[in-house]
């Protein structure tokens, strides 16, 4: 890659990033001056795209740390070369995710009451607190990796792994403990969130690593290629499990004639569920990555693996969006079914958060030898 080509890519990327951030900043201004009337949420559908986006980004951040630390704790050191990048990407995702969540709160200035007036019975209190602690632990662990403090790395990887599982499952319990919402309620929801975090984390790890090397025009080392190949196979296995879960879920809700299930498979989210989540997010990446599992050492090209990772990420976001929104549609007493249309402000804030992720990650890639 020539220097001129590199500079062009850099300035193009920077321009796009600044444009997205500027639009997001404009939406923040509108939010503060006009209130949440700029969002599409209503009293019947109170949680909107920002909550779905937060869940997606938080799960991805947890999943990155979960998978990287899991191998480390088990003593599988050949994935260590991905550990630093995974942790920094997790931080890059979690910080703007928490910022996105604060945009959804009506009165962020009163967050001090989290400390002054805590309700220990509330899953949301635990989610906020554990994610805050988890973020600090993540930063400490990254610092120990960066400084190569081996003993601290080992201890931190165990503690952060536990924190990642706790944070992710508590996030799932926010939904799982709402008895009134049939599509959310249940002890399986927190477990499903942990599983989803692992899938999303693996996909993010594969996509981010390959994309970074391609963007910078650097060749990948053989050990890194081998690690990516193995992770791709593991992701393929998890996608297979996700497909089985999805099939069984549809069978059980159809058998029991759960009325809310039609919001996912029929109207209004049928197209998104069948096409984007199932086909694009699960089936196609599963097929692509499974081809990589042959005995021959020649795997599929890295670009295809990155594409599969990106498709999984898109599918997982759509899954979270459908989960959060459709769970709120059903109403009691014959009240008209809830409906929801996301607004420009919501999308611009989501893309703004992703732009911040890219900006932080790019800084780390350039300055911290990820």
Partner 1 sequence: MKLTRRKFFIYSGLAGAVAFVGKGYGLAAMASEKPRLNPVNSNVNYGMFIDLKKCIGCNACTMACIRENNWPEGVTGNRVLEMEEGLSHTKRKYFQPLLCMHCANPVCANVCPVKATYKREDGLVVQDNTRCIGCKYCIQACPYRARMFNKQPPYAYKKEAPEGVHVGGTVMKCTFCKHRIDAGDISTACTDWCPTGARVFGDLNDPNSEVSKAIKARNGVQLKKEKLTEPQVYYGLMG
Q: Helix count (H) and strand count (E) of the chain?
A: 13, 0
For partner 1, what does the binding mask look like between residues 210 and 229, x meaning CB under 8 A?
--------------------
- Please, which of residues 305-334 interact with partner 1 by CB under 8 A? 328, 331-334
* Residue 3 vs 43, nearer CB to partner 1: 43
Q: What does the DSSP 8-state code read for residue 117?
A: S
**How many residues would you count in the chain?**
370
Query: Could you say whether residue 33 binds partner 1 (CB under 8 A)?
Result: yes
CB atoms within 10 A of CB 152: 15
CB neighbourhood size of 64 (10 A): 33
- Determine, following the binding rule CB under 8 A, whether residue 266 of this chain makes contact with partner 1: no
Point out which span in 133-141, 142-150, 172-180, 277-285 binds partner 1 (CB under 8 A): 172-180
Between residues 74 and 335, which has the closer beta carbon with respect to partner 1?
A: 335
Q: Which CB atom, from 189 or from 200, has the smaller least distance to partner 1?
A: 189
Q: Is 327 helix (H, G, I), strand (E, B) or coil?
A: coil
Residue 345: CA atoms inside 13 Å, Cβ hemisphere, count? 19
If the CB atoms of residues 118 and 294 are measured against partner 1, the closer one turns out to be 118
Contact between 362 and partner 1 by CB under 8 A: the answer reads: no
How many residues bind to partner 1 according to rule CB under 8 A?
45
Distance CA 321, CA 313 (A): 12
Q: What is the DSSP letter of 261?
A: G
Q: Does 178 bind partner 1 (CB under 8 A)?
A: yes
Give yes or no for residue 256 binding partner 1 (CB under 8 A). no
Distance CA 160, CA 71 (A): 13
A 10 A CB-CB count for 32 gives 11
Residue 136 in the binding site for partner 1 (CB under 8 A): no
* Measured distance CA(262)–CA(95) in Å, rounded: 35
Asked if residues 329 and 260 have their Cβ atoms less than 8 Å apart, the reply is yes
Nearest approach in angstroms of CB 294 to partner 1 is 47
For residue 337, state whether it binds partner 1 (rule: CB under 8 A): no
Given 3-state DSSP classes, what are the helix, strand and coil percentages for the chain, each rounded to the nearest 5?
80, 0, 20
Task: By CB under 8 A, name the one of 5, 15, 29, 122 that touches partner 1.
Answer: 122
| 186 is an interface residue for partner 1 by CB under 8 A | no
Q: Is 36 a binder of partner 1 (CB under 8 A)?
A: yes
Return d(Cα 290, Cα 258) in angstroms, integer. 34
Output 171 or 210, the one with its CB closest to partner 1.
Answer: 171
User: What Rg do the C-alpha atoms of the chain give, in angstroms?
Assistant: 21
Decide if residue 44 touches partner 1 (CB under 8 A): yes
Residues of this chain that interact with partner 1 (CB under 8 A) are 32-37, 39, 41, 43-44, 46-47, 104-111, 113-119, 121-125, 128, 174, 177-181, 328, 331-335
């Amino acid at each position: 890659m020539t220097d001129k080509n590199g500079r062009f890519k850099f300035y193009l990327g920077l321009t796009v990033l600044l444009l997205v951030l500027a639009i997001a900043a404009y939406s923040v201004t509108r939010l503060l001056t006009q209130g949440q009337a700029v969002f599409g949420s209503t009293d019947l559908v109170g949680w909107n795209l920002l909550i779905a986006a937060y869940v997606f980004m938080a799960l991805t951040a947890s999943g990155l740390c979960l998978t990287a630390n899991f191998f480390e704790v088990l003593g599988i050191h050949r994935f260590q070369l991905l550990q630093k990048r995974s942790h920094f990407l997790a931080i890059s995702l979690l910080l703007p995710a928490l910022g996105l969540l604060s945009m959804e709160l009506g009165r962020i200035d009163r967050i001090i009451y989290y400390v002054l007036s805590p309700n220990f019975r509330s899953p949301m209190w635990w989610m906020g607190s554990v994610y805050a602690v988890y973020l600090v632990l993540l930063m400490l662990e990254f610092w120990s990796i960066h400084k190569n403090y081996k003993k601290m790395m080992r201890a931190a990887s165990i503690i952060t792994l536990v924190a990642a599982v706790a944070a992710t499952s508590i996030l799932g319990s926010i939904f799982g403990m709402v008895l009134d919402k049939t599509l959310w309620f249940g002890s399986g929801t927190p477990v499903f969130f942990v599983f989803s975090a692992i899938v999303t984390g693996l996909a993010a790890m594969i996509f981010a690593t390959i994309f970074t090397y391609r963007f910078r025009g650097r060749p990948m080392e053989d050990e890194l290629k081998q690690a990516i190949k193995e992770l791709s196979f593991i992701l393929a296995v998890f996608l297979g499990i996700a497909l089985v879960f999805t099939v069984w879920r549809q069978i059980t809700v159809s058998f029991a004639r759960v009325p809310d299930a039609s919001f996912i498979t029929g109207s209004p989210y049928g197209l998104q569920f069948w096409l984007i989540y199932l086909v694009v997010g699960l089936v196609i990446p599963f097929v692509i990555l499974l081809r990589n599992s042959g005995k021959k050492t020649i795997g599929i090209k890295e670009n295809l693996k990155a594409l599969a990772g990106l498709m999984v990420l898109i599918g997982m976001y759509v899954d979270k969006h459908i989960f959060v929104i459709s769970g709120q549609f059903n109403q009691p007493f014959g009240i008209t079914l809830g409906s929801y249309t996301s607004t420009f402000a919501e999308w611009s804030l989501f893309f703004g958060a992703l732009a911040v992720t890219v900006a932080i990650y790019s800084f780390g890639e350039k300055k911290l030898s990820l």
